[in-house]
């Protein structure tokens, strides 16, 4: 850990003045991204060129991007796209950095050059003078270890969360911006659809007493929480990457105790929270909650230290051999690898563990219904989870376990859970390509 003099309180403009052309600047992750500093840096756009800004999962508009539409002053790079980052990428103003999320701290420590300036949002200093990362532990500790200048922008709305690497002592910080008393960005999901409920029902029936859950982003995983809340399942544990509001519902319904966990017994573990104010209030100074760096939550060997891990994630396209493309639409980048593959592998390695890839069988584009189960992936699509790692695949038409199945068996199984209007065409193409041999 870096050490130095006690931090100086400065204005956002003074902090932005520390950035020089050609610098690497890191904004950090999610709700931990700064606002006052971002605005002040944008106001210097005419003075700067080629400032490279690294970020992930932006949940609020970034002034450096809106102020510099031609990307002459600022280059925006992201470890994981939010909807906002995706729109910036579509406009040619953002780039993606491939990464398994759990490896992020190692990237900073082993492969990246020192960061010239780090600015992240934290809670105000506590009684001991520490600055808490709050809802975004992720890779911030490792990032700060590699920083030449560390700036924190304090925010009264940031929860203070327990965890071994969830805060910084004052002597690890160079400068402090006393940020405005603005609310944290909230991430709200639409109500689950009928398809979401049908998929969730098939997953929920596989969850046993004492299972340890990882719940991903989206309507389907949250629908699973709704069903489990009404079920009789008991003593669930939580060891997850992202904390979502559905998990808070499970806790308040008494379904989560954590007493069967192999590590962090009786505690909910996550690396970042993104949801409503209700969720942020729940984790604030809650001794049953623990925020950990992402190499603790996401590395498969850590995940597997809990028994009966159930990993629930979305994918957007799967081919008839079981390859899951979850982050792109052709060459258009949508989200990121995140922790999907690592939780799939961690769940498999867990005693009694199960992983689920869920998807609606179809989607609509320009008025035409298309299948998400395809003979071959869309050209340019990135494989997020290889066929060898995929366990359960679930659509509204059923669930199949691909472990141990031959290529022809996989093709038939996946055709069987595709939308009925596409099954005949899928089988015809599977036979034409040799995935299902003649006479089989």
Catalytic residues: 241
User: How far is CA 159 from its chain centroid?
Assistant: 19
CA 287 to chain centroid:
24
Question: Inter-axis angle of helices 245-252 and 219-230, to 10 degrees?
Answer: 0
d(CA 372, CA 430): 15
In this structure, is the dihedral angle defined by the CA atoms of residues 315, 321, 323 and 328, taken in order, positive or negative?
negative
- Report how far apart, in Å, the C-alpha atoms of 272 and of each of 45, 95, 426 are: 31, 22, 40
Alpha-carbon distance 114 to 336, whole Å? 24
Output the six-digit token pair for 391: 């366990």
- CB within 8 Å of 154: residues ≥ 6 apart: 121, 122, 123, 124, 125, 131, 176, 177, 178, 179
**How many Cβ atoms sit within 10 Å of the Cβ of residue 370?**
13
C-beta of residue 400 within 8 angstroms of C-beta of residue 392: yes
Give Dmax (Cα) for the chain: 76
Mapped onto helix, strand or coil, the DSSP state of residue 278 is: helix
Asked if residues 310 and 211 have their Cβ atoms less than 8 Å apart, the reply is yes
DSSP E strands, 155-247? 167-168, 175-178, 212-215, 237-238, 242-243
| Burial readout 270-306 (b: 16 or more C-beta within 10 A, e: otherwise) | bbbbbbbeebbebbbebeebbbbbbbbbbbbebbbbb
Among 186, 250, 202, residue whose Cα is nearest residue 222: 250
The SS3 of residue 192 is coil
Are 299 and 342 spatial neighbours (Cβ–Cβ below 8 Å)? yes
Of all helices (H) and strands (E), which one includes residue 89? helix 83-90
Is residue 73 within 8 Å of 48, Cβ to Cβ? yes
At 373, which helix (H) or strand (E)?
A: strand 373-374
């Amino acid at each position: 850990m870096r050490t130095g003099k006690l931090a100086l309180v400065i204005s956002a403009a003074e902090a932005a003045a520390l950035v020089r052309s050609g610098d690497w600047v890191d904004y950090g992750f999610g709700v931990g991204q700064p606002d006052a500093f971002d605005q002040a840096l944008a106001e210097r756009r005419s003075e700067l060129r080629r400032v490279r800004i690294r970020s992930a999962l932006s949940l609020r508009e970034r002034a450096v991007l809106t102020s510099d539409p031609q990307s002459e002053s600022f280059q925006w790079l992201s470890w994981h796209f939010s909807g906002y980052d995706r729109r910036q990428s579509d406009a040619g103003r953002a780039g993606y950095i491939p990464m398994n999320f759990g490896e992020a701290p190692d990237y900073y420590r082993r492969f990246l050059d020192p960061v010239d300036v780090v600015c992240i949002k934290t809670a105000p200093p506590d009684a001991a003078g520490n600055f808490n990362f709050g809802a975004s532990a992720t890779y911030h500790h490792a990032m700060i270890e590699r920083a030449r200048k560390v700036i924190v922008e304090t925010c009264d709305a940031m929860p203070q969360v327990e965890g071994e690497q969830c805060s910084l002592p004052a002597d690890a910080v160079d400068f402090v911006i006393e940020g405005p008393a603005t609310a944290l960005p909230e991430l709200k999901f639409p109500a689950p659809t009928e398809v979401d409920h049908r998929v969730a029902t098939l997953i929920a029936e596989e969850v046993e007493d004492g299972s340890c859950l990882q719940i991903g982003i989206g309507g389907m995983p949250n629908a699973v929480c709704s069903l489990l809340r009404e079920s009789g399942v008991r003593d669930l544990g939580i060891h997850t990457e992202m904390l979502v509001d559905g998990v808070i519902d499970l806790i308040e319904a008494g379904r989560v105790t954590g007493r069967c966990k192999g590590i962090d017994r009786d505690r909910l573990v996550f690396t970042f929270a993104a949801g409503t104010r209700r969720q942020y209030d729940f984790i604030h100074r809650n001794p049953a909650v623990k925020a950990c760096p992402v190499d603790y939550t996401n590395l498969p060997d850590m995940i597997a230290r809990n028994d009966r891990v159930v990993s629930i994630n979305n994918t957007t396209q799967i081919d008839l051999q079981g390859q899951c493309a979850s982050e792109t639409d052709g060459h258009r980048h949508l989200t990121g690898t995140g922790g999907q593959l690592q939780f799939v592998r961690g769940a498999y390695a867990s005693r009694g563990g199960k992983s689920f890839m869920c998807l609606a069988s179809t989607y609509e584009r320009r008025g035409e219904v298309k299948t998400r189960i395809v003979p071959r992936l869309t050209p340019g699509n990135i494989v997020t989870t290889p066929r060898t790692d995929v366990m359960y695949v679930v659509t509204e038409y059923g669930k199949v376990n691909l472990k141990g199945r031959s290529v022809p068996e996989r093709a038939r199984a996946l055709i069987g859970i595709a939308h009925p209007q596409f099954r005949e065409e899928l089988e015809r193409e599977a036979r034409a390509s040799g995935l299902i041999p003649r006479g089989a």
